[in-house]
């Protein structure tokens, strides 16, 4: 069993990736970039069924732990991450079998901003979405970049969060 990081930055090798790399260096943690997939906005008429969302969901179903990784863009999750989250509504309406399979999975969150403090309320959509979907919220870890480096003070938190993921995978 492995965990997967769902990386939602607008750049592949940016700051969010720097933090994610500290996780995905571990062989139990895979990473995908949402920017590699064509995922349309949620559509009430489901006119984008042919895009990459549903095949991606089938791939993700093999993972018991989904960890969203998002930069902080305007005090919120990235647009790519939000579009992906919105599309999970497809699983409540036209692919209910997959929706039911989310129950019991774990949902984690890695954030990357330009400041040490994550703004109030940022994590709430993830916590509540996990609750709504029957997923266990793993908590979150926040990082930021200073002078192109991850500050040393972030490292213990990243290590603790990594260990939390590995412990769940081992249980």
Ligand X SMILES: Cc1cc2nc3c(=O)[nH]c(=O)nc-3n(C[C@H](O)[C@H](O)[C@H](O)COP(=O)(O)O)c2cc1C
Element (H, E) at 33: strand 29-33
**Is residue 73 near ligand X by the rule CB under 6 A?**
yes
Is residue 79 a contact point for ligand X (CB under 6 A)?
no
DSSP one-letter string for 70-130:
EE-BTTB--HHHHHHHHHTTHHHHT-HHHHHHTTT-EEEEEEEESSSSPPTTTTHHHHHHH
Minimum distance between the CB of residue 147 and ligand X, rounded to whole angstroms?
12
Query: Which of the residues 6 through 35 are near ligand X (CB under 6 A)?
Result: 9-11, 14-16
What is the per-residue binding string for ligand X in 86-105, x denoting contact by CB under 6 A? --------------------
The distance of Cα 74 from the centroid of its chain, to the nearest Å, equals 18
CB of 170 vs ligand X, minimal distance in Å: 29
Cβ nearer to ligand X, comparing 102 with 150: 150
Residue 10 vs 153, nearer CB to ligand X: 10
Q: What interhelical angle do 15-24 and 155-170 show, nearest 10?
A: 40
Give Cα 151 to chain centroid, integer Å: 22
Size of the site for ligand X (CB under 6 A): 16
Q: From the CB of 75, what's the least distance to ligand X, in Å?
A: 4
Q: Rule CB under 6 A: is residue 169 a binding residue for ligand X?
A: no
Q: How far is Cα 2 from Cα 31, in angstroms, rounded to an integer?
A: 10
Site string for ligand X, 126-155 (x = CB under 6 A): -------------------x----------
């Amino acid at each position: 069993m492995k965990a997967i990081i769902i990386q939602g930055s607008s750049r592949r090798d940016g700051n969010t990736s720097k933090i994610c790399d500290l996780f995905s260096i571990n062989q139990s943690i895979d990473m995908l970039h949402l920017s590699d997939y064509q995922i349309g906005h949620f559509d009430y008429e489901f006119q984008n069924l042919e895009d990459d969302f549903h095949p991606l969901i089938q791939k993700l179903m093999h993972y018991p732990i989904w960890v969203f990784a998002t930069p902080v863009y305007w005090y919120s999750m990235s647009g790519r991450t939000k579009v992906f989250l919105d599309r999970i509504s497809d699983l409540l309406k036209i692919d209910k079998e997959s929706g039911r399979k989310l129950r019991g999975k774990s949902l984690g969150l890695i954030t990357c901003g330009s400041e040490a403090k994550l703004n109030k309320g940022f994590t709430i959509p993830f916590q509540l979405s996990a609750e709504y979907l029957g997923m266990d919220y793993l908590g979150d870890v926040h990082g930021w970049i200073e002078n192109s480096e991850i500050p040393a003070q972030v490292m213990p938190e990243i290590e603790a969060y990594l260990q939390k993921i590995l412990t769940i995978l081992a249980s």
